Amino acid sequence: MAEEVKVFGRWTSPFCCRVEIALRLKGVPYEYIEEDLSNKSPLLLEYNPVHKKVPVLVHGGKPIAESLVVLEYIEETWRRNPILPEDPHRRAMARFWTKFIDEKCMPIMWKSLWSEGEMQLKLMEETKENLSILERELNSKKFFGGNSIGLVDIAASFLSCWTEVLQEVAGISLFGEAKHPILFKWANEFMSSDAVKVCLPPKDELLSHFRAMKEGMSATKAGQN
Amino acid sequence: MADKVVLLSSWASVFGLRVQIALAEKEVDYEFREEDLFDKSSLLLESNPVHKKVPVLIHNGKPVCESSVIIQYIDEVWTKGPSLLPKDPLQRANARFWTDFIGKTIYPCGSKIWRNKGDAQVQAAAKKELIGILKQLEGELGERPFFGGETLGYVDIALVPFSRWFYTYETFGRFSIEKECPKLMAWVRRCNDRESVSKVLPDPHKVYQRNCGLKKRLGLE
C-alpha cells in the first residue's frame, strides 16, 4: 500500500506551489494542510524545527523541508514524468539554474517590490538583468526542461501569477511581454499546463492578500514616523 | 579517452576546498588553477559568466559551477569511488537539507565576525549566532562518527573546510569553539584523520593571515 503523502503549505507561497506542481506532474495523491503562519501548528514546528517554515512534505510520517530539497526527493521517489535529465552535466545545469532562481532572482525581485527610492531603482535594474539572464538560458526551448516541464520551470513558478500580482501592488514594472518576450511566452505556456494551473492560487485573492500586506506595512511605517 | 578535469579555485575558499575533498575521495586526477579574486582569469569569467566566482569544475571542457552542484556532479560521474551522498532518497534529502543549511548560515555569520569594522554589538550577535549554528550541527551529528554515518559524506565535505576558518572567527571574535562545541571539534579531528581532508585543507594560521590582509585591503580595519 502506498505511504501517505501530506503537504504543509500556505496558499500564498510560490515555494509551496512548487511542491504541489511536482506531485501533480507525477500523479502522486496527497493531502494538503493549510498553515496559518501567524499561528504555526505544533505539527509544523515538530516537522521543521530548524526553520519552522512551509513547505514541508511528509511521506509515510517522515518530514522533508526546503522546497528544492523536497523537489529532488519527489524526483527520486516517484520516477514517473522525470523533472531532471539523465545526463549528469545537464542535471548539474538544472541544479545551477534552480539555485540562481532561489538565491538571486527571487530574493532580489522580492526586495525590489517592497523597497523605495534609489534602492528600489537599483534592485529593479538588477531584477531585470537577472530575468534577461534567465531568458538567455531558456532561448528557444518551450520549457527550461526542454519539451516538458522540469526542475527549473517548477523553481521559476513565481514568474507566473505572483510576479503579475506583486508588480500591480507595488506599482512598478519588472517583467512583461515587451521587456522579456521569450520568458513571458514561457510563463503563459507554463501557467496553462494541466499540472500547474490547478496549483496556482486565484489571482484576485492573491492581489487582495498582497494589497493588504502592503497596507499593513505602510500603516506600520506611518505609525513609526 | 582520458578525462580532463580542471578546477578553478582559490586555496582558502571553503567552497573550493569542498570540491577538492570530493575529488580526492574519488581519486580523480585534476589540474588546480589558483585564481586571483581581484584579477579573475578570462577562463573563469567565460566558465561562470553568471556569478564570476570560484569554484568552477571544468570536465572535458564543460564547466560546472556552485560547490554543492559540483559535488553532486562528481558523485554521479565517478561512480567507482565511495558514494558521497547516501542511496536512500530520505537520507539524501536530509544530507541536502543540512548542506543547504550550512551554505546559508556559516559563511555570512562568520563574515560578520571577522569582517567587522568596530561594531561590537553586531560582532557579539554574530558570535552568538555562530555558536548556535554549530550547536545545531552538533545535535544533528549526534553519536555518529560522521554526518555521513561511518564514513565521510556530503554534509561532512560541506562543513569541514570551515574548520580551517574557525581560528579566524575565534581570534577576531575572542571565543573558543572547542569550549562551546567539543563534540563538533572531535568530529573535525576525525575528519582530519582522512587523507582526502588533511592533504587538502590549508593551515588555519595561513587562512587567518590571509584574512587579515584581505580585511586591510578592503578597508575594514
Cβ within 8 Å, pair A72-B73: no
Q: At A23, which CATH number? A: 3.40.30.10
> Is residue B52 less than 8 Å (CB to CB) from chain A?
no
**What is the ipTM for the molecules in this complex?**
0.95
Q: Is residue A223 part of a domain?
A: no
Q: Is residue A107 part of a domain?
A: yes
- B positions 94-133 inside 8 Å of A (CB): 94, 96-97, 100-101
DSSP, residue by residue, B117-183: -S-HHHHHHHHHHHHHHHHHHHHHHTT-SBTTBSS--HHHHHHGGGGGGHHHHHHHHT--HHHH-HH
Cβ within 8 Å, pair B90-A73: yes
Question: Could you tell me if A56 and A121 lie in one domain?
Answer: no
Q: Is residue A16 part of a domain?
A: yes
Of A31, A52, A77, the last residue of a domain is: A77
Q: Is residue A213 part of a domain?
A: no
Question: Could you tell me if A101 and A202 lie in one domain?
Answer: yes
> Is residue A72 less than 8 Å (CB to CB) from chain B?
yes
Question: Could you tell me if A104 and A173 lie in one domain?
Answer: yes
State which H helix or E strand residue A9 sits in.
Answer: strand A5-9
Q: How far apart are CA A78 and CA B182, in angstroms?
A: 41
Query: What is the C-alpha R_g of chain A?
Result: 18
Question: Could you tell me if A120 and A73 lie in one domain?
Answer: no
* Confidence band for A8, pLDDT divided at 50, 70 and 90: very high
Average pLDDT over residues B3-19: 97
pLDDT tens readout for residues A129-138? 999 999 999 9
Q: Which residue of B has its CA nearest to A132?
A: B50
Question: Could you tell me if A103 and A150 lie in one domain?
Answer: yes
* Confidence band for A224, pLDDT divided at 50, 70 and 90: low
Chain B contact set for A133 (CB, 8 A):
50
Q: Is the confidence at residue B215, as pLDDT, over 70?
A: yes
Question: Could you tell me if A147 and A96 lie in one domain?
Answer: yes
Q: Which residue of B has its CA nearest to A91?
A: B73
pLDDT tens readout for residues A140-181? 899 999 999 999 999 999 998 899 999 999 999 999 899 899
Q: What is the predicted pLDDT for the residue at B129?
A: 96
Question: Could you tell me if A142 and A39 lie in one domain?
Answer: no
pLDDT tens readout for residues B95-137? 999 999 999 999 999 999 999 888 999 999 999 999 999 999 9
Q: Which residue of A has its CA nearest to B97?
A: A69
Q: Is residue A105 part of a domain?
A: yes
CB nearest to A88's CB, from B66, B73, B136 = B73
- The number of C-beta contacts closer than 8 angstroms across A and B is 58
Question: Could you tell me if A27 and A111 lie in one domain?
Answer: no
Question: Could you tell me if A124 and A25 lie in one domain?
Answer: no
Q: Is residue A190 part of a domain?
A: yes
Q: Is the confidence at residue B202, as pLDDT, over 70?
A: yes
Q: Which residue of A has its CA nearest to B95?
A: A69
Question: Could you tell me if A105 and A41 lie in one domain?
Answer: no
Q: Which position has the grid cell 501517505?
A: A4
Question: Could you tell me if A116 and A146 lie in one domain?
Answer: yes
> Is residue B220 less than 8 Å (CB to CB) from chain A?
no
Strand partners of residue A6: A31, A58
Q: Is residue A198 part of a domain?
A: yes
- The residues, any chain, with a CB within 8 Å of residue B24's CB and separated by 6 or more, are B195, B196, B197, B199, B200
CB nearest to A69's CB, from B50, B93, B136 = B93
The two beta strands, B62-65 and B56-59, are: antiparallel
CB atoms within 10 A of CB B89: 17
Cβ within 8 Å, pair A66-B89: no
**Burial label, A219 (beta-carbon count in 10 A; 0-12, 13-18, 19+):** exposed
pTM of the complete model = 0.95
Q: Is residue A218 part of a domain?
A: no
CB nearest to A95's CB, from B72, B77, B94 = B72
Q: Is the confidence at residue B1, as pLDDT, over 80?
A: no
Q: At A108, which CATH number? A: 1.20.1050.10
Cβ within 8 Å, pair A77-B64: no
Of the candidates B164, B169, B187, the residue with the CA atom closest to the CA atom of residue B11? B164
User: Which phi and psi angles does B55 have, rounded to 5°?
Assistant: -85, 155
| Domain enclosing residue A96, as ranges | 88-206
Question: Could you tell me if A58 and A141 lie in one domain?
Answer: no
Average pLDDT over residues B199-213: 96
Cβ A20 vs Cβ A9: under 8 Å: yes
The total domain count for chain A is 2
Of A26, A52, A77, the last residue of a domain is: A77
Chain A contact set for B68 (CB, 8 A):
95, 99
Of A56, A77, A98, the last residue of a domain is: A77
- Distances in Å between the alpha carbon of B133 and those of A190, A217, B152? 38, 31, 20
